[in-house]
Amino acid sequence: MRASELIGAPVLDTDGTRCSYVIDLRAGGDDGDLVVDGLVIGRHHWRMFGYEHREEEGPALMRRIIEMLHRHTRYVPWGDFEIDDRAVRLRRDWDDLPPLRSLRE
């Protein structure tokens, strides 16, 4: 599956109900090979414009607006989800996933 097919895909909770959408992918790797480490999921399709990265300070007002819009955005590490039929199924409950903002601290 291509990243462009995964971004925007529905995310199903452990009970099979849709709880969010894939907003972004997180990848890392060595020697130029990127491997997906996890997914950023949220209740809306809103973009983050890079404000989820610690090094991106930007205007304080814009940062606060983006943080408010993404207060329910979560990070799902590799292994805590599976992909089937163009949907992502969580292996952990939504409430057990770390908020994206906690990854910056």
Q: pLDDT, tens digit, for every residue of 48-71?
A: 666 555 555 667 787 777 777 777
Contact, 62 vs 69, CB < 8 A? no
Query: Reduced to 3 states, what is the DSSP secondary structure of residue 85?
Result: coil
Q: Which helix (H) or strand (E) holds 28?
A: strand 18-28
* pLDDT grade for 86, boundaries at 50, 70 and 90: confident
Report percent pLDDT > 70 for the chain: 81
> Can you list the alpha helix ranges (DSSP code H) found in 1-105?
3-6, 60-69
pTM of the model: 0.78
Q: pLDDT, tens digit, for every residue of 19-42?
A: 999 988 888 888 778 888 899 998
Is domain 3-103 annotated with CATH 3.40.50.620?
A: no
**Which tokens go with 51?**
């404000």
Q: What is the DSSP letter of 47?
A: -
The residue with tokens 């909770």 is 13
